[in-house]
Amino acid sequence: MSGIRPTGFLHLGNYFGALRNWARMQHEYECFFCVVDWHSLTTHPDTAELKNSVYRVLAENIACGLDPEKATLYVQSDVPQDAELYLYLNMLAYKGELEKTVTFKDKARQHPDNVNAGLLTYPVLQTSDIVIHRAELVPVGKDQEQHLEMARNFVQRFNHRYGHGQTILPEPHAFSYDAGGLVKILSLDGNGKMSKSENQMNTLYLADEDDAIRKKLMKAKTDQGPEAPNSTPPDYIENLFGMMDIVSAPDVAAKFRADYAQSSSGNTVIRYGDLKKQLAEDMVRFIAPIRETANGLLANKDELKRIMKMGGEKARASGQDTIERVRKAVGVNYY
């Protein structure tokens, strides 16, 4: 199970850091992927914008290979059982530990005028999202490790208090195919990870038109070339090679790496202009079909709604099964 925040446009980093792995997981496990619209209410988004973001993120996830017939792809607010479980878990989550959460402290610092209870209990709702399906594997990045550790604590307390020696809810763990080595895509100016919020010129979005992709890549940061043969490229150059490894033909990527290795000051064999041109064309070929599929779905809301509805039904059935066990354990089953 994993959750996707509906913050609009996905970028290349999202694809290689998460989506690609999810698409692989759906063939090997029973998977739930949830667009967490309730979670985004913690920061008071504009309601019309939120709705569009939910549609877009769903369409882009499907365009990236999530198959709604295979995995359960749904929206959080379609599963009221999630909110009910959140209520029970809230009784087992303590103010002190919630206040110490890194993501809470960050958000509280960024928005001192909106430190609401939903923000404080964000990790509790995230726990519910996962255990409402009794999911054990959670494909997320490093930034979510603290939330998962908290989830295990809440679950342990629940089982201890209500389980009478039995495991009602299993403990969730972070999951990744590439142990520790998730592909990281850097911002095109070389400053940190590719991200949604920073300068749009430095981020390749899955919705970018061909010309925008070309323009951004041609402006990507390079330098004068290496000073000595077999130099280790700086991270912004390695980033271009890394993208090539992913979207270009293997021999093409190998050629540019070899040119780099042979270059030195006064003998610059590698031509960054050519590299970027090649990369841009290969990137266009990679992104265009994703963009077109997503746009097709967004232009056909009926199909998107059918998919959402189908996912919601499957997720509710799974949630109902868990909530009945939970109610019984807690003792709020009277009939």
Q: Does 193 bind ligand TRP (CB under 6 A)?
A: no
Of residues 108 through 127, those in contact with ligand TRP by CB under 6 A are 126
Q: Minimum Å distance from CB 116 to ligand TRP?
A: 16
The residue range among 6-14, 138-146, 189-197, 272-280 that interacts with ligand TRP, by the rule CB under 6 A, is 138-146
Q: Does 314 bind ligand TRP (CB under 6 A)?
A: no
- Residue among 222, 205, 332 nearest 268 (CA): 222
| Neighbour-count burial for 98-116, b at 16+ CB within 10 Å, e otherwise | beebeebeebbeeeeeeee
- Residue from 3, 13, 225, 312 touching ligand TRP (CB under 6 A): that is 3
Mark whether 193 is an active-site residue: yes
- Residue among 52, 61, 137, 153 nearest 100 (CA): 153
DSSP secondary structure string for all residues of 298-318: HH-HHHHHHHHHHHHHHHHHH
Catalytic residue among 70, 100, 107, 215: 107
Q: Does 19 bind ligand TRP (CB under 6 A)?
A: no
Mark whether 107 is an active-site residue: yes
Q: Does 130 bind ligand TRP (CB under 6 A)?
A: yes
As beta bridge partners, residue 32 has 72
Q: Does 36 bind ligand TRP (CB under 6 A)?
A: yes
Q: Minimum Å distance from CB 299 to ligand TRP?
A: 28
Taking the least distance from each CB to ligand TRP, the nearer of 103 and 264 is 103
Q: Does 39 bind ligand TRP (CB under 6 A)?
A: yes
3-state secondary structure of 32: strand
Alpha helix stretches (DSSP H) within the chain: 12-14, 20-25, 37-40, 47-63, 80-90, 95-100, 102-110, 117-120, 122-131, 145-162, 210-218, 235-247, 250-262, 272-299, 301-330
Mark whether 51 is an active-site residue: no
Residue 41 backbone phi and psi in degrees, to 5: -65, -15
Q: Does 5 bind ligand TRP (CB under 6 A)?
A: yes
Q: List residues binding ligand TRP (CB under 6 A).
A: 1-3, 5, 36, 39, 126, 129-130, 138, 140, 144, 147
Catalytic residues: 107, 193, 196
